[in-house]
């Protein structure tokens, strides 16, 4: 969607983006605080998640969560919140005609929650149910286990359930007071904002939150190299799940991330990609994913799939061969151009809605206050070269920090996991 972006610095210390989308018929709001699990002791890991559930409950004006939700949703507006390792984000979308009412209601909820004991008890049960549900996601279980074993900020859902008994209602209140300060707040507001900037600023500057000192710093994490695979037994899983991680102990620049995104696309993003395409053609695996992580002091690259046991070795052979080709600079112009066309199209599709446009800015802005130049992304995609891909692929394996995780039905498959681990070792030979 055609749009323009203005960064706003408020008198109360909050910062955010106004995204003007002329003619839009909806308004989107996001308010993000660095308030995630990294700011609490591990035995209190669930405090931010529980707090997020209770904040959008009863508040100073609406004394029960159901009453507040009924008022919020009466014209079809939507609200939600999410908690991660780093941040808690509150969001809403509404019809343009009620933009001010919904903004004020969302800010009321964020600024004046009551933390009622009965709502804490209810949400305690809801979070337990949520975590039990998540614990059935084998990919999630594998990823959190491997990350925790490598020393990253992570915890499995089963362990989170065990730790919940340590969380008291007062913990939520204390964490809220610590983190919900305006200097720690970032926001994005998007829609048809013509003539509304001044009014939006007045509403945001009147939010009833203390200013505090400053925004919380991002954590420093040091992933460890694992010299044997992490193996998890799940008796109901007849095939196997795997995840392969590699880390470079540096935060990549934008051009480097563009190149890494390009080679990642070339390898697994499509049914004609170099790993997934061949694996599908040979009937080895239905789907395979890979992705990138960027943190304060490292860049990560992971690969994962659910695969039949007998098909795992040939799939690994394809994966390792194609990663070695990327490291060697064996990248054809056809593959490079196909990946560029795919990314250009995906970029264009991503901005079809107001919410999609917000997503294009949110991750990076909340991470380090950088405003993505959305309109320059096609130029950045086209600027990626095979030489840059080769250099960044080599860099991702040069620090010798890796991990392999395998989840399957019985301990007898540990032997296969060990064999797969040995197959991957040449990737880190410099």
Express each pLDDT in 208-262 by its tens digit.
999 999 999 999 999 999 999 999 999 899 999 999 999 999 999 999 999 999 9
Structure confidence by residue, pLDDT tens digits, 105-140: 999 999 999 999 999 999 999 999 999 999 999 999
Please calculate the CA angle 207-213-218 and round it to the nearest 5 degrees. 100
Indicate whether 215 belongs to any domain. Answer: no
Local structure of 133: helix, strand or coil: helix
Looking at residue 351, what is its pLDDT? 81
Pick from 149, 170, 205: which residue ends a domain? 205
User: Do 235 and 197 share a structural domain?
Assistant: no
Mean pLDDT (whole number) for 97-107: 98
* 305 and 176 both lie in a single domain: no
Q: How many domains does the chain have?
A: 2
Q: How confident is the model at residue 1 (pLDDT cuts 50, 70, 90)?
A: confident
Residues 182 and 323 in one domain: no
* 372 Cβ contact list (under 8 Å, min separation 6): 360, 361, 364, 365
Both 387 and 310 in one domain: the answer is: yes
Kindly report, residue by residue over 388-428, the tens digit of the pLDDT.
999 999 999 999 999 999 999 988 899 999 999 999 999 99
What does the pLDDT read at residue 410?
85
- Write down the pTM of the prediction: 0.94
How far apart are alpha carbons 356 and 353 in whole angstroms? 5
pLDDT in tens, 4-55: 999 999 999 999 999 999 999 999 999 999 999 999 999 999 999 999 999 9
The answer on 369 and 333 residing in a single domain is yes
- Quote the DSSP letter at residue 400: -
Q: What is the mean pLDDT of residues 96-105?
A: 98
Whether 132 is covered by a domain: the verdict is: yes
> Is the model's pLDDT at 430 over the cut of 70?
no
Decide if 151 is inside a domain. yes
Which range of residues forms the domain containing residue 30?
4-205
Are 195 and 307 part of one and the same domain?
no
> Do 18 and 99 lie in a common domain?
yes
Examine residue 344 and state whether it is found in any structural domain, yes or no.
Answer: yes
Q: What value does the mean pLDDT take over residues 189-200?
A: 97
CATH code of the domain in which 172 resides: 3.30.830.10
359 contacts: CB under 8 Å, gap ≥ 6 = 350
Domain membership of residue 214 (yes or no) is no
Chosen domain end from 205, 222, 241: 205
Report the 10 Å Cβ neighbour count for 268.
23
Determine, yes or no, domain membership for 224: no
Give domain status of residue 24, yes or no. yes
Residue 218 located in a structural domain: no
What pLDDT score was predicted for residue 350?
83
Q: How far is CA 376 from CA 217, 297, 347, 361, 380, in A?
A: 29, 26, 11, 13, 6
């Amino acid at each position: 969607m055609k749009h323009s972006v203005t960064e706003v610095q408020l008198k109360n210390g909050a910062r955010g983006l106004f995204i003007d989308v002329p003619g839009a018929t909806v308004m989107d709001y996001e308010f993000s605080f660095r308030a995630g699990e990294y700011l609490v002791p591990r035995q209190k890991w669930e405090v931010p998640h529980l707090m997020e559930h209770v904040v959008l409950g009863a508040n100073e004006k609406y004394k029960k969560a159901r009453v507040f939700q009924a008022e919020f949703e009466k014209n079809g507006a939507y609200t939600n919140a999410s908690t991660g390792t780093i941040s808690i984000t509150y969001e809403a979308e509404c019809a343009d005609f009620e933009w001010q009412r919904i903004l004020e209601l969302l800010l009321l909820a964020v600024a004046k929650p009551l933390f009622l004991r009965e709502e804490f008890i209810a949400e305690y049960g809801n979070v337990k149910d949520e975590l039990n549900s998540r614990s059935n996601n084998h990919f999630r279980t594998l990823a959190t286990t491997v990350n925790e074993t490598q020393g990253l900020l992570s915890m499995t859902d089963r362990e989170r359930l065990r730790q919940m008994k340590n969380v008291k209602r007062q913990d939520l209140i204390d964490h809220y007071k610590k983190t919900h300060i305006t200097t720690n707040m970032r926001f994005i507001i998007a829609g048809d904002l013509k003539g509304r900037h001044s009014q939006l600023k007045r509403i945001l500057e009147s939010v009833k939150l203390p200013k505090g000192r400053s925004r919380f710093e991002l954590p420093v994490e040091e992933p460890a190299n694992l010299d044997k695979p992490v193996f998890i037994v799940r008796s109901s899983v007849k095939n196997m799940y795997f995840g392969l991680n590699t880390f470079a102990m540096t935060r990549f620049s934008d051009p480097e991330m563009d190149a890494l995104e390009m080679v990642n696309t070339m390898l697994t993003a499509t049914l004609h990609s170099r790993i997934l395409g061949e694996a599908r053609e040979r009937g080895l695996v239905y789907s395979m994913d890979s992705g990138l992580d960027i943190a304060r002091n490292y860049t990560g690259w992971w690969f994962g799939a659910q695969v039949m046991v007998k098909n795992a070795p040939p799939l690994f052979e394809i994966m390792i061969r194609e990663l070695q080709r990327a490291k060697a600079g064996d990248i054809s112009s056809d593959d490079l151009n196909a990946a560029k066309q795919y990314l250009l199209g995906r970029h264009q599709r991503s901005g079809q809605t107001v919410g999609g446009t917000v997503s294009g800015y949110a991750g990076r802005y909340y991470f380090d206050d950088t405003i993505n130049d959305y309109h320059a992304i096609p130029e950045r995609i086209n600027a990626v070269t095979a030489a840059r891909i080769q250099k960044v692929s080599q860099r991702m394996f040069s620090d010798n920090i890796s991990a392999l995780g395998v989840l399957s039905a019985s301990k007898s498959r540990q032997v296969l996991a060990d064999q797969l681990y040995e197959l991957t070792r040449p990737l880190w030979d410099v």
